[in-house]
Amino acid sequence: MIPYSTQLIEEDDIAAVVDILRSSHLTQGSKVEELEEAIAHYVGARYCVTFNSATSALLGAYAVCEIGEGDEIITTPISFVATSNMAIALGAKPVFCDIKMDGNIDGNLIEALITPHTKAIVPVDFAGKPVAIRTINDIAKKHNLLVIDDASHALGSDIGHQKVGSFSDMTVFSFHAIKPITTGEGGAVVTNNEEFAKKLKLFRSHGVVKKQLWNSDMVSLGHNFRLTEFAAALGLSQLHKLDRFINIRETIARYYDERFEHHKLFNIIRIDITEQSARHLYVLLLNPELHCVKEEIFTKLQERGLGIQVHYKPIYQNSFYKERFGEQRLATAELFYKSELSIPCHQKMSMEDAKYVADTVLEIVEKYAYRGYNV
């Protein structure tokens, strides 16, 4: 099976982890600091605070800007549930904004959703394609809101050579196994705001400040969301490979772009030449006449060894959300969900793999097109 995304762990990654395992210090120490400095430097932000997942990093980001009971965030329904879940965990309400057919939040629809309760706009750089962050920042500025970018797919993405992570009040990255680089589980918040960085560090580790050796003081409510030293060592080793990984994914994605261009049965999502996507996902959007056979196409591709997936069921369609917030339907998010297939694109694939994926996708989709038209 060729998965839609997966990690690439090499001998030097393993050696970096083993080094730490042989050392005396296993959790949050100098490797974590080294990783934070390296990430901040890489994305061009002043501060980076790592967490044990992007989910805890999101919770931290929301908490330090005091999002809580009665507040609202405006976010996208086409994301992993954690983006909005963590706002709910603090008593806030996610207000879902419709998207564009590139999977990213539609900036033109945000302003109409702003209320006196709105605290922040939380876009996602879907599949690694940078969201139109300048438009969002302008809206936020005008209405005195914060922008927290869930860039879990987008470490290494850029707009005009400026990296995602340098644009927003806070940006969250994920180092889950299949994300652009991995620490096994892990995440980070990057920011230029010193106050946020300080508070994030407290939130991550019990709200405790060390005064002298024996005297520490707990100044705010915190958790244990720390990253281990061996995870940080893996992250550092992986970060050095990020550009190479992105190049491989980019080469595969461009090959797919060529093979799939102007296809009559599905669309692809083009990346603007002034932008770089981390290429976390490669997305096909099936034409409406194929929606009724999408499940069969999905199954057939799986049978042929393509570990494809669908990203994402609109978050508001989940039972928890329906029970708590009622039924909702956003037209483009619905259409996107019905159309979307993520096909294999990752740094472990060879070009022969990519050719096999493209050939198989074309063969199966064209075969089922027949059926689709006849229904």
Ligand X SMILES: *Cc1c(COP(=O)(O)O)cnc(C)c1O
Residues in contact with ligand X by CB under 6 A are 53-55, 79-80, 82-83, 124, 150, 152-153, 174, 176, 187
Cβ neighbours, 10 Å, residue 326 = 8
Q: Shortest CA distance to 184 belongs to which of 247, 250, 233?
A: 233
Say if residues 202 and 223 touch (Cβ distance below 8 Å): no
Residue 121 sits at φ, ψ, to 5 deg, of -105, 130
Nearer to ligand X, 83 or 104 (CB): 83
Nearer to ligand X, 79 or 168 (CB): 79
Q: Which two tokens stand for residue 158?
A: 């850029």
Q: Give me the least distance between CB of 92 and ligand X, in Å please.
A: 16
Cβ neighbours, 10 Å, residue 335 = 16
Nearer to ligand X, 253 or 315 (CB): 315
Nearer to ligand X, 321 or 368 (CB): 321
> Per-residue DSSP letters for 69-91?
TT-EEEE-SSS-THHHHHHHHTT
Say if residues 337 and 78 touch (Cβ distance below 8 Å): yes
Nearer to ligand X, 81 or 109 (CB): 81
Q: Give me the least distance between CB of 170 and ligand X, in Å please.
A: 14
Q: Give me the least distance between CB of 53 and ligand X, in Å please.
A: 3
Nearer to ligand X, 47 or 80 (CB): 80
Q: Give me the least distance between CB of 141 and ligand X, in Å please.
A: 24
Q: Give me the least distance between CB of 175 and ligand X, in Å please.
A: 6
Q: Give me the least distance between CB of 110 and ligand X, in Å please.
A: 18
User: What single-letter DSSP state applies at residue 225?
Assistant: -
| Cα–Cα separations (whole angstroms), residue 363 to 57, 249, 265 | 42, 23, 12
